[in-house]
Amino acid sequence: MLRQPLPPLSLRTPEGAKVYLPDLKGKPLALVRDLGLAQALARRRADLQAVNAQAYLLAQKPIPSPLPLLLDPKGTLLAAIPPGGALVTDAHLEVYHLGPVRDAEEVLDWLRFVEAQCPECVLPEAEWI
């Protein structure tokens, strides 16, 4: 799944609105399934904004969340993210990380890395010489 597009799944908000994952294109994305990690990322909102990223807590049922909550009732996407892990994509929803993370700082490091990979943000190598 790494360096592949995120599957075009539909999730829900706690209010019942449908969220089609391809509609989240445009900003790097972090999906986490651990409430503690979500709380740590929520405390780092300024850092998320600095890399123009969006972060969500993913759950099967509505729960109180410090980040916007997306519901995956069937657990399809949740099953792919390990406990304490994160899924990080670029602005085009290409998956760069899917696995365990130490803490919110590692999620932010992945988001910074993803932002640096943006072809619109980096000059082609031939122009560097």
pLDDT of residue 116: 87
Give the pLDDT means over successive 10-residue stretches in the chain (129 positions).
84 95 94 96 96 96 96 95 95 94 97 80 48
pLDDT of residue 128: 45
Q: In the chain, where are the structural domains located?
A: 10-117
Residue among 47, 30, 5 at smallest CA distance from 110: 30
pLDDT of residue 23: 94
pLDDT of residue 34: 96
pLDDT of residue 118: 58
SS3 71: strand
CATH of 10-117, one of 3.40.640.10, 3.90.1150.10, 3.40.30.10, 3.40.50.150: 3.40.30.10
Instruction: In whole angstroms, give the CA distance from residue 68 to residue 26.
Output: 17
Q: Are strands 29-32 and 18-20 parallel, antiparallel or unpaired?
A: unpaired
**Which helix (H) or strand (E) is 20 found in, with range?**
strand 18-20
pLDDT of residue 129: 46
